[in-house]
Amino acid sequence: MNQKLVIHYQDGTILKGNSNDFFPNKAQFHLRPVDGSEARLVKVADLKGVFTVRTFEGDPDNRSRRDVERAGLGRRIRVTFKDGEVVVGYTSGYSPDRPAFFVFPADPDSNTERIFVVTDATQSVEFT
């Protein structure tokens, strides 16, 4: 399945592109950047997170709502990354012993459909 991804590295680098071999149980995957440059191998251990998005343009005004209740997506969670970014959403797969987990944004209208959060890139994770 071809997925639209925005990948955030722990060093602050952000790349946008498509992948058909990103799976949560794999240590690496390939990204074909939207700028047409050559596909690159991405190592999950180097990442902060993998954001599956609807469009690459995103929401420049960041109008996502955090106060929305969504059923069926697990427990409400607040993730603070080491770089200070905060994500509020829902997860059913978080465990501090796991290398990564998925978060679904609180706002169902968000451009981000889901986030694959790399646990080593987080400062704190709280159920709210």
Q: In whole angstroms, give the CA distance from residue 71 to residue 126.
A: 18
User: What are the C-alpha distances in Å from 9 to residues 21, 40, 46, 65, 89?
Assistant: 18, 14, 6, 25, 20
Q: In whole angstroms, give the CA distance from residue 96 to residue 90.
A: 15
Within 10 angstroms of residue 40's Cβ, the number of other Cβ atoms is: 13
Tokens coding 40? 């690159």
DSSP 98: S
- Parallel, antiparallel, or unpaired: how do β-strands 40-43 and 112-118 relate? unpaired
pTM: 0.91
pLDDT in tens, the chain (128 residues): 789 999 999 999 999 999 999 999 999 999 999 999 999 999 999 999 999 999 998 766 665 666 667 777 899 999 999 999 999 999 998 999 999 999 999 988 889 999 999 999 999 999 99
Domains in the chain: boundaries: 1-128
